[in-house]
Structure 1
Amino acid sequence: MWAALTWTIISNDTGLRITVVDTAGTEESMHQLQNKKADMGNYDAALVMRDFKDKHDLRTIFPFAPAVWQFAVAKDANIKTLKDLNGKKWNPGPAGGGSTHITMQIMDLFGIKPVYHQGTLGDAAEAYTDRQIVGFSYRGTGGDPTSAMVEANAARPILFLSLSDEEIAKVTQRWPDLSKFQVRAKLYPGQNEPFTTVATLAGNAIAANKDMPAEAVYTATKSYWKNFKNISKQFPGVSGASPGAALASQIPLHVGAIKYYEEVGLKIPAHLVPPEAKK
């Protein structure tokens, strides 16, 4: 829905001929970009690092939503902090997901040793509802509720754990691309207080292959931010994004995107300038 609406708006605004193609998800999308089977598409920074390391041709155009860690436990489990997960059966995220690996490393950082229950998000929600585990983690947008968590919360009320300032300082020191993030109250039913966690501000983003023409990317990037207010009204999950969040990208920016961001006054860090821009 977001992709179809967004690209339709950009196409109507700019005259660019854009065809939206369905994929099985983010992982397929970024592999299509790498293999030049698509011109633009979404990617997950953690998955790019996992699958390609630094050997890829993906270039960020614009971030569309922060990637926000949500540590969920049952309200009836008597768990109030991350450390209370020690020895408890808990799902760290979808098996094989890039964020799941980081979640487990966060636990290692604090010496916390849950008994990990592996599975998909759906598996975790079902195990939680059936009281096989005390909770589960998922990295969502922070602006829209995650449907599996909404359903699990309805069956067994959820408490979202907040990280302390000390915990956030340690996590962001270990992973500089992560930032402190506060999720608003009432994102989920019964969640009457905001909770504090960490997020990758450009974790969910749109990229292009480096060989896509710079002028087309510039035009699409400019149009996206021009129409962002309208897009975010229809999809609140993206409302936390901003042009400045592009500077939190974990992969280089596209040459065409750099042109736009410099026009609006952003200073592009050297590590986000791709080799092709330096020729």
Structure 2
Amino acid sequence: MRTKTTTGSARQLRTALIAAPLLLAVAACGGIDPDTETADGSEDTGGQEGAASGEAITTGWGPSNGQWYLYGAQSMSIVAEASGLDITVRESAGSEENAIRMDRGELDVGMLDANGADEALGEDHDLTTLFPLSVVVWQMVVGEDTDIQTLEDLDGAAFNPGPVGGASAMVTVEVFEEGLGLDVDWFEATAPDAQSAYQGRQIEGFALRGAGVQADGAVLEVDSARPVRLLSFTEEQMDAAVEVNPDLSPATIPASTYDTEEDILAIGYWGVVVGASVDFDEDQAYQMTKSFWEELDTIGEQLPQVEGMTPEDAVNEALMPLHPGAVRYYEEMGIDVPDEIKVQG
């Protein structure tokens, strides 16, 4: 049993050293296998065929300098230790790349955003869910030096809805335009460029979708250069948001998170999951799902966004079908899994 991390360049390796304590936990389970992609960029030989025959299960997450890659390294280390499975953690551009590569059989398992998977492959795809990874929450950030106090005040303002081309930006635009009727001056940019534009006072603010309701490092970083104000939805605005996108649900960012005067009401959803192709080996899918839930307390010590999640959430909040191996585990737990979220045929 071992868990390995893989990166694609020396620059990414240097960035990953920021999380050295986390990566040491992964290295202790076996380090980088010579048959997987290494720092020189050679190809990983994992994939569904290898995993089904007992070789490494290849999992895809996000960029090596981002939170999802670090979450993947930590959680998969714990799952590998508990299950005895051989799991490889590798970086990617994120959910949409993971979806495409799982669909091609180049990854076995990966971090998925349900909306991102649909965007990459169309709604009629064969990807499934093992277990949820996080409630994701949109944080609406504006400068304290602006007159913007409410979401309505964003009408006409220069505002970044999220990373250009990303699923989170699409949801922001949909909610603001169709739900709230706002005419925002959208600033299209990558997340780093949007944050630079905010710090340079080119825009009034930006939307950031993060994992869970804990403080996000990007918000804290820009706050040090240009203090931020977080905007809260009203109950009526939340109802309007959910009406235009039923996958959304209310999420509360506690006042203690950013030392705000009151809790922040935000939009969120359970769309970030650990998913797999329907062809992923059923026994391995079962073992990964079982080990994740049995080790949830340990995982929660490192990944606060999973705290409070239950197996019932995986079933009740499912936005994609559950993998047959996951269904087996949930039914063993006495949970009724509706036919409509089981793989058909």
Q: TM-score range by the shorter chain?
A: over 0.9
Please provide the CA RMSD for this pair: 1.6
Whole-angstrom CA distance in 2 between matches of 1:127 and 1:92:
13
Say whether 1:225 aligns with 2:225: no
Q: 1:120 aligns with which of 190, 195, 198?
A: 190
> Within 1, Cα distance between the matches of 2:286 and 2:168?
30
Q: 2:272 matched to 1:210? A: no
Paired letter, 2:165? G
Q: Which runs of 5+ in 1 are unaligned?
A: none
Provide the secondary structure at the position in 1 that maps to 2:256: coil
Decide whether the 8 Å contact of 2:96 with 2:119 is kept in 1.
Answer: no
Please name the residue that 2:306 is paired with. Answer: 238
Check conservation: 1:214, 1:255, Cα contact below 8 A: yes
**Structure 2 residues not aligned, in runs of 5+:** 1-69
Q: CA deviation at 1:23?
A: 2.2
Task: Name the stretch that deviates more: 256-265 or 159-168.
Answer: 256-265
Residues 92 and 35 (structure 1), Cα distance of their counterparts in 2 relative to 1, 3 Å cut: same
For 1:1-279, list aligned pairs within 5 A. Answer: 1-109=70-178, 110-188=180-258, 190-201=259-270, 203-239=271-307, 241-246=309-314, 247-276=316-345
Which amino acid in the other structure matches residue 115 of structure 1?
D
**SS across alignment from 2:257:** coil
Q: For 2:118 and 2:181, how far apart are their aligned partners in 1?
A: 25
Give the partner amino acid of 1:62.
F
- Report the 3-state secondary structure (helix = DSSP H, G, I; strand = E; otherwise coil) of the residue aligned with 2:93: coil
Flag the 1:240–1:156 CA change in 2: closer, same or farther, 3 A.
farther
1:53, distance to aligned residue in structure 2 (A): 2.0
Please give the secondary structure, in 2, of the residue aligned with 1:196: strand
- Tell me, what secondary structure is at the counterpart of 1:19? strand
Deviation per residue, 1:19-44 (Å, 9 max, x gap):
22232333222221111111111111
Normalising by structure 1, we get a TM-score of 0.92
The residue identity in structure 1 corresponding to 2:92 is: T
Cα deviation code 1:88-129 (max 9, x no counterpart): 111111100111111111111221011111101111111111
Shift of 1:52: 1.6
8 A contact 1:210–1:254 mirrored in 2: yes
Shift of 1:55: 2.5
Distance change in 2, residues 1:164/1:108 (3 Å): same
Shift of 1:68: 0.8
Conserved in 1, the CA contact under 8 Å of 2:99 and 2:112? yes
Q: Offset at 1:238? A: 2.9
TM-score (norm 2): 0.76
Q: For 1:71 and 1:113, how far apart are their aligned partners in 2?
A: 16
Distance 1:176 1:265, change over 3 A: farther
Q: Percent identity?
A: 35
Matched length: 274
Using CA pairs under 8 Å that are at least 6 residues apart, name the structure with larger relative contact order, 1 or 2: 1
CA contact (8 A) 1:121 1:148 kept: no
Measure, in 1, the Cα distance between the counterparts of 2:335 and 2:239: 26
- 1:164-193 superposed Cα distances (whole Å, 9 cap, x missing partner): 1111112112222111110122323x4353
